[in-house]
Amino acid sequence: MNAQPETGPAPELRLGLLRTMLRIREFENRVAESYLRGITAGSMFHLSVGEEAVAAGAGAAMESGDCFTTHHRGHGIFLARGADPARMFAEVFGRREGYCAGKGGSMHIADISLGHMGANAIVGANIPISLGGGFAMKYLKTGKASAAFFGDGALNQGVLYESLNMAALWQLPVLFAVVNNQYGMATRVDRASASLRFVDRAETFGVRGAEVDGMDAEAVWRAARELLARCRGGQGPAFLLADCYRFYGHGRKDPSPYRSKEEEESWRRRDPLDRQRKRLLAAGLLSEQGFAALAAEVSREMDEAVAWAARGSMPEPADLFRHVYAD
């Protein structure tokens, strides 16, 4: 029997959501810092600061055995699914110790053992890969689900609608999870879409949809849990629209001149981390000292992960020819 009260998630889960969001933020801040210090291998990083509630909530609703893909802003989702931050930093730094031996970097990170079938830098391209994951789950009768995380930039792409159609037609256990941070590069979602009724679009295919406050980790968890349970239970695909905001620009160097300061401020006031911290303080599940201890522990973890990754080895020229074909 599930002993959780109807009023909300269990205390450990509520604390876990805060911890995951804190880890994501600290991770992302160090990616930005490392980039500015010149120790990363890439020229472009997409930080998910501000979007942590979507990753933490949906990540907590997923189970071992579920699989997923992400878009180019997927560090948080992978961390929420159990990634080792040290190996992630190593990948970002182009080291052999990274998840993909330093060959993939931030935008192509993957680890099948954790169900991560790959981040993808081509907008919308991860969606049909997750469709394949869903097909496998159904064909192999695993009772598990496959999730595709993508941004609002993919909402007007044909590949999304081809995938929704096929998922519905074949009743595949696929969760289409939209991290709607309001912008695709400099274009606001309402300037790119003829209609903002995205959930209705999914439902046109007979796909169950829900829109959720993506700045609220518990709300995301609740919605994702229900939709994933439908997927795993053989009730077909589902669509989750999580409304959120990226606190930085598209890339770390983008000062986002296309957004007003008032708009940025109004979203920053809804900071998902602050919200969860205050909620747990009010519920008596956390003290100020407890939070300070948690923050210090996470900060230490991430500092150690950066230091470990920076000591990693650089690929040799001969590594170019490794991992090209299966052994």
Ligand X SMILES: Cc1ncc(C[n+]2csc(CCOP(=O)(O)OP(=O)(O)O)c2C)c(N)n1
Of 128, 211, 208, nearest in space to 168 by CA:
208
**Smallest separation (angstroms) from ligand X to the CB of 220:** 16
Tell me: does residue 76 bind ligand X (CB under 6 A).
no
Q: How many residues bind ligand X (CB under 6 A)?
A: 16
Using CB under 5 A as the binding criterion, the count of chain residues that bind Mg ion stands at: 5
Minimal distance, residue 122 CB to ligand X, in Å: 5
| Assigned token pair, 22 | 């804190």
DSSP single-letter state for residue 314: P
Please select the residue that binds ligand X; options are 23, 25, 72, 279, rule is CB under 6 A. Answer: 72
Q: How far apart are CA 73 and CA 50, in angstroms?
A: 12
> Which of 14, 23, 71, 87 is close enough to bind ligand X by CB under 6 A?
71
For the segment 184-203, give every residue that binds ligand X (CB under 6 A): 184-185
Distance, in Å, from the CA atom of 231 to the CA atom of 48, rounded to the nearest integer, reads 26
Q: Which does 71 bind (CB under 5 to 8 A by kind): ligand X, Mg ion, none?
A: ligand X
* 105 contact choice in ligand X, Mg ion, none (CB below 5 to 8 Å, kind-dependent): none
Work out whether 181 is an interface residue with ligand X (CB under 6 A).
Answer: yes
Closer Cβ to ligand X, 100 or 119, answer by number: 119
Sign of CA dihedral 90, 52, 178, 218: positive
Say how far apart CA 155 and CA 167 lie, in whole Å. 16
Is the backbone of residue 65 left (phi > 0), alpha (psi -120 to 50) or beta? left
Q: Least distance (Å) from ligand X to the CB of residue 96?
A: 27
**Per CB under 6 A, 144 contacts ligand X:** no
For ligand X, the closer CB: 79 or 309: 79
d(CA 147, CA 134): 8
Would you give the end-to-end CA distance of the chain in angstroms? 46
Distance from C-alpha of 81 to C-alpha of 112, rounded to nearest angstrom: 12
User: Cα(152)–Cα(133) distance, rounded to whole angstroms?
Assistant: 22
Task: From the list Mg ion, ligand X, none, pick the one residue 185 interacts with, judged by a Cβ distance below 5 to 8 Å according to partner type.
Answer: ligand X
* Shortest spacing between CB 53 and ligand X, in angstroms: 15
Helix and strand numbers, DSSP H then E, in the chain: 12, 8
- What binding mask, one character per residue, do residues 98-137 give for ligand X by CB under 6 A, x or -? -----------------------xxx--------------
Q: Which two tokens stand for residue 31?
A: 């990616």
- CA–CA distance, 80 with 115 (Å, rounded to integer): 12
Within 152-171, the residues that bind Mg ion by CB under 5 A are 152
- Positions touching Mg ion (CB under 5 A) are 151-152, 181, 183-184
- Positions touching ligand X (CB under 6 A) are 46, 71-73, 121-123, 151-154, 181, 183-185, 250
